[in-house]
Amino acid sequence: MDAPEKESVIDFPCSFPIKAMGLDCLEFDMLVYSIVHKHAPDVGEGAIKTRKSTKGKYVSVTITINAQSREQLDNIYQDLSNCEKVLMAL
């Protein structure tokens, strides 16, 4: 017997911010972008924001996408979690 499908508290499609944090290096934002873009190819130029930590050791990259499904979000977060340069994904 199949498990009942969980009902999402998010109404899709919707604007959804994805944040990834890692050590501040030149290519971190492009790395995060490439992972997200694989699952959300319609990411626009203004959708990416970066912010360095107070001491400059870490950086957070937030990319707002037009999320289509929970499965899409799950796949993005799985790929971000699998990347050794991503320390945390929210």
> What pLDDT, in 10s, does the model give residues 35-55?
999 999 998 778 999 999 999
- The Cα–Cα gap between 29 and 49 comes to 9
- The Cα–Cα gap between 89 and 20 comes to 4
Nearest alpha carbon to residue 64 among 24, 32, 25: 32
- SS3 label, residue 51: strand
User: Which are the contacts of 64, defined by CB distance < 8 A and separation ≥ 6?
Assistant: 15, 16, 17, 18, 47
Structure tokens, 54: 């107070």
What does pTM read for this prediction? 0.87
pLDDT of residue 38: 96
In one-letter notation, the amino acid at residue 67 is: A
Task: Supply the mean pLDDT for the chain.
Answer: 91
pLDDT at 65 over 60: yes
